[in-house]
Amino acid sequence: MKRDTGMASIAQVGIFQGISDLDLSRFDHRCVWKKVDEGQTIIDFDDPSSDVYFIIAGDVRIQLRTTGGREFILADLREGEFFGELAAIDGEPRSANVTALTRTTICIVGAALFREILKASAQVSERVMVLLARRVRDLNARLLEHAVLDIRHNLYAELIRLSIQRARGSQARIVSPPPYHHVLAARIGCRREQITRELRAMEQDGLMQKARGGLILPDPEALRQRIAQKMQELG
């Protein structure tokens, strides 16, 4: 990782923007700014470090790896988001691997400084608590899906989760850029060949369309209804 001195203040970092109950500039000299090359590991499993990383630009991937080498993708994070806070809070070794998907700029805040800021600013503390609660809810939803749904309906749920509205006023959503099949497989815990088969079936049923730059979900509500119906059948 290469040190970068281009960022002026921690107050410009994602979650700290607009904070009014604390002068964040007095912490600037205790932060480290770095550039990370694409494909570089930022945090590895069981690392004893406890820093918190704030993404200034770029994208990173958080994933778990089994002892057999199988990987499971937990999340992709982008500019404005952060990671590493669990080790800063509880002091335990890292629970996941974090790798840069693109050339990424990060602001590194030590655990002691992170906790100091949380104690000093009610606004920052509330933002962190809200974000952690959202992450727990998202993980709970994914855990339920993996526990009770088959691969087809897990894929429906994951595509909806990855998608954004295609155009203002349109119900259609798009997953862009189109994800690699092995990446989707790592997200829902199956084989790449199963993803290929299910995407082909979705396309034949009119539930998904391939387009330049992404996968289009023309009727995401239909996918949600299928997921809900499957949940009821299993409930």
How far apart are alpha carbons 32 and 52 in whole angstroms? Answer: 11
Kindly report the average pLDDT of the chain as a whole number.
90
CATH class of 149-234: mainly alpha
Q: Which two tokens stand for residue 3?
A: 């040190």
- Concatenated DSSP letters for 55-68? EEESEEEEEEE-TT
Q: For residue 158, count other CB atoms closer than 10 A to its CB.
A: 19
pLDDT in tens, 121-164: 999 999 999 999 999 999 898 888 988 999 999 999 999 999 99
pTM above threshold 0.85: no
Q: Stretch 33-61: mean pLDDT, rounded?
A: 92
Domain ranges across the chain? 2-145, 149-234
How far apart are alpha carbons 187 and 67 in whole angstroms? Answer: 17
Question: For 28-37, 48-57, 87-96, which range has the lowest pLDDT when averaged over its residues?
Answer: 87-96
- Determine the topology of domain 2-145 in CATH: Jelly Rolls (2.60.120)
Kindly give the residue spans of alpha helices, DSSP state H, lying in 7-121. 85-90, 111-120
Residue 2 clears pLDDT 70, i.e. is over it: no
Contacts of 190 (CB under 8 A, 6+ apart): 151, 154
pLDDT in tens, 93-118: 888 899 999 999 999 999 999 999 99
